[in-house]
Amino acid sequence: MQARIPADLDRKESEVYRQLDPERLPRHIAIIMDGNGRWAKRRHMPRAAGHRAGVTAVRSTVETAARIGIQALTLYAFSEENWKKRPKSEVDFLMRLLSRYLKAEVPTLNKNNVRLEYIGRQHELPEDVQERMAWARTNTGHNTGTVLTLALNYSARSELVDAFRSMVDTAAQNGGIDHLLIDEEAVRSHLYTRDLPDPDLVVRTSGEMRLSNFLLWQLAYAEIYVTSTLWPDFRGVHLLEGIAEYQKRERRYGGLNHGDSPAHSAPAKVTK
Ligand code: FPP
């Protein structure tokens, strides 16, 4: 049966969407947005121009994800390492860009029924940016469609440290260290992403093959899709291409290939 094409997909997007099985869309897609600097360098422009163009890519990707009904989209916008290792002028520019994006984008997020969330150590960000973030979250809080999570000042290792601290604090408040229970479910329920399913698909742009300290716990079984497209050139159609590739993969979660029963993979029995 031909999939019904969601309204508002453009011609190229519709062509790729037609190849997809709408019953097997990834529930949660995580994206490592990379290549803004290289995009600008190729055009002999300052890095800031690459970041500015990156906002257009964010807009297109979020709209397409929302239109096809992706439950959760998480964008790695700013790592803890970015914050510490980039020149102050670039960090300041990124903060202003984020602030402007949040102010301008709320009506479009509402139009697309997108709810904003954040992960990362927000308290270390400039106060005015924190206020703008809180404002945008509140003003999209009623939406019931895609949850758009921006990873800001985020590090997966810090997230795990924060989760362990939170587990210890919770035990201390509930009768002391004897009440500390550590198992996978306990860790999961203290992560920043505790209200989201783990990503099924992680996309990285600009051809790099690294996870760069992004959602290390949550990506344990995610399919990885790397595209050479630089982030500022990325659009909704590229997201759909990533989903098409994801749908070609067979997810095994450490098990056997579909159709391979243990009997097939066991060593042949020696008979006389
Ligand atoms: C990586 O490119 C990108 C970033 C560090 C920042 C991402 C920011 C944006 C896409 C724009 C603002 C985001 C939002 C959510 C409004 P890079 O600078 O590391 O590129 P390079 O590896 O080519 O130097």
Q: How many domains does the chain have?
A: 1
Q: Which of 36, 82, 112, 143 is catalytic?
A: 82
Q: Which of 34, 36, 112, 153 is catalytic?
A: 34
d(CA 138, CA 110): 11
Domain that holds residue 146: 23-155+198-249
Q: Report yes or no on 4 lying in a domain.
A: no
Most confident segment among 145-159, 176-190, 253-267: 145-159
Helices 236-248 and 47-67, packing angle to 10 deg: 60
What CATH number does residue 48 fall under?
3.40.1180.10
Residue 1 has pLDDT above 60, yes or no: no
Q: Report yes or no on 133 lying in a domain.
A: yes
Q: Which atom of ligand 1 is nearest to the CA of 51?
A: 11
What residues are paired with 42 via a beta bridge?
Answer: none
Q: Report yes or no on 134 lying in a domain.
A: yes
180-189 pLDDT, tens per residue?
A: 989 999 999 9
Long-range contacts of 259-268 (CB under 8 A, 24+ apart): none
Listed residue (72, 80, 116, 65) closest to 239, CA to CA: 65
d(CA 227, CA 114): 25
Q: Whose C-alpha lies nearest to ligand 1, atom 7?
A: 77
Helices 127-140 and 88-111, packing angle to 10 deg: 10
Q: Which atom of ligand 1 is nearest to the CA of 150?
A: 15
Q: Report yes or no on 264 lying in a domain.
A: no
167-177 pLDDT, tens per residue?
A: 999 999 988 88
* pLDDT, position 28: 98
Give the pLDDT band of residue 270 (cuts 50, 70, 90).
very low
d(CA 224, CA 215): 13
Q: Which runs of consecutive H residues, i.e. helices, occur in the chain?
A: 11-17, 36-42, 47-67, 80-85, 88-111, 127-140, 156-173, 184-188, 236-248, 262-265
* pLDDT, position 260: 62
Catalytic, 34? Answer yes
Q: Report yes or no on 44 lying in a domain.
A: yes
Catalytic, 82? Answer yes
Q: Report yes or no on 80 lying in a domain.
A: yes
pTM over cut 0.85: yes
Q: Report yes or no on 271 lying in a domain.
A: no
When mean pLDDT is compared across 35-39, 145-149, 176-180, the lowest value belongs to 176-180
201-256 pLDDT, tens per residue?
A: 999 999 999 999 999 999 999 999 999 999 999 999 999 999 999 999 977 777 77
Q: Which atom of ligand 1 is nearest to the CA of 230?
A: 23
How much is the average pLDDT of 91-118?
98
Q: How many alpha carbons fall within 13 Å on the CB side of residue 218? A: 28
